[in-house]
Structure 1
Amino acid sequence: MNQLKIKKSEVKLELISEKKLPNSADRTVIVIPKYTINEKDEYNNYYFELDEYIIVANNVTGEILYKFYQPNAWTSDAVMLSSIEIDTGLYNLNRKHRAFGIRVNYIGSSRANPYNQTVLSLFIEENNILKQVLKNLTISEFRGEWDTNCAGEFENNNSIISIDKMQSENFNNLIVKTIKTETINIPTNEDCVEKKKIHTTLKKLKYNGTEYK
Structure 2
Amino acid sequence: MTLKSGLMGCAALCGLVMATQAFAECEKPTLYGDFGHSTCKDWPAYPGLSITAMSQFESGFSASGSGPEGKYDLDLAVVSAGDSKPLATYHKSDAFESDAIVFEDLELDTARYKLTPELRAFGVRVRFKGSSSANPMDESWLSLYVKEGNKLRPVLERLVVYAYGGEWDTRCAGERSNTVRTIEIGKTSSHGYADLIVKSVTTGMVGEGEGEACDVKSTTSKPVVTTLRYDGKTYVLPGDFKGV
TM-score w.r.t. structure 2 length?
0.78
Is 2:224 aligned against 1:201? yes
User: What is the 5 A alignment of 1:27-106?
Assistant: 27-37=49-59, 46-106=68-128
Distance 2:100 2:154 in 1: 27
Say which SS state the counterpart of residue 183 (structure 1) adopts. Answer: strand
Counterpart for residue 178 of structure 2: 156
Provide Cα deviations, 1:46-104, integer angstroms capped at 9, x if missing partner.
31311110111111111111001111101111111111010011111110111110000
Q: Note if 1:123 corresponds to 2:123.
A: no
In the alignment, which of 160, 163, 166 is matched to residue 188 of structure 2? Answer: 166
The structure where strand makes up a greater share of residues is: 1
* Aligned-CA RMSD value: 2.1
Say which structure is richer in helix.
2
Cα pair distance change 1:188/1:7, threshold 3 Å: closer
Indicate yes or no: 2:161 matched with 1:139.
yes
The one-character-per-residue Cα deviations of 1:20-51 (angstroms, maximum 9, x if unpaired) are 0001121111111132136699xx76313111
1:9 aligns with one of 23, 32, 39: 32
For structure 2, the 5+ residue unaligned runs are 1-28, 237-244
8 Å contact from structure 1 (residues 184, 195) kept in 2 = yes
Give 3-state SS (helix, strand or coil) of 2:47's partner. Answer: strand
Q: What is the CA distance between 1:197 and its match in structure 2?
A: 2.5
2:157 aligned counterpart, secondary structure: strand
| Count of residue correspondences | 205
C-alpha contact (below 8 Å) 1:45/1:77 kept by paired residues: no
Matching residue of 1:3: none
Structure 1 residue runs of 4 or more that deviate by more than 6 Å after TM superposition: none
Q: Per-residue CA shift, 1:152-205, capped at 9, x if unaligned?
A: 101111101111100111111001110112320122661432223322211111
The question of whether the paired residues in 2 share the 8 Å contact of 1:146 and 1:153 is answered with yes
TM-score between both structures, scaled by the size of structure 1: 0.89
Residue 109 of structure 1, aligned match among 102, 107, 131: 131
Partners of 1:7 and 1:146 in 2: CA distance? 41
Query: Are the aligned partners of 1:40 and 1:47 in contact in 2 as well (CA < 8 Å)?
Result: no
How far off its partner does 1:127 sit?
Answer: 3.4
3-state SS of paired residue (1:196): strand
Contact 1:124–1:132 under 8 Å retained in 2? yes
Task: Kindly report which structure 2 residues correspond to 1:11-26, keeping only aligned pairs within 5 A, or say none.
Answer: 12-13=35-36, 15-26=37-48
Bigger drift between 53-62 and 124-133 goes to: 124-133
Q: CA 1:78–1:71 in 2, change beyond 3 Å: closer, same or farther?
A: same
Unpaired runs of 5+ residues, structure 1, are 1-5
Q: Tell which deviates more after alignment, 150-159 or 178-187.
A: 178-187
Look at both structures and tell me which one has the larger radius of gyration over its CA atoms. 2
Secondary structure at the counterpart of residue 212 of structure 1: coil
**Overall identity of the aligned pairs, in %:** 30
Given that 2:189 and 2:195 are in contact with CA atoms closer than 8 Å, whether structure 1 keeps it comes out as: yes
Residue range with higher mean Cα deviation, 180-189 or 27-36? 180-189
Q: Residues of 2 paired with 1:23 and 1:74: CA distance?
A: 28
- Select the residue among 189, 196, 199 that pairs with 1:177: 199
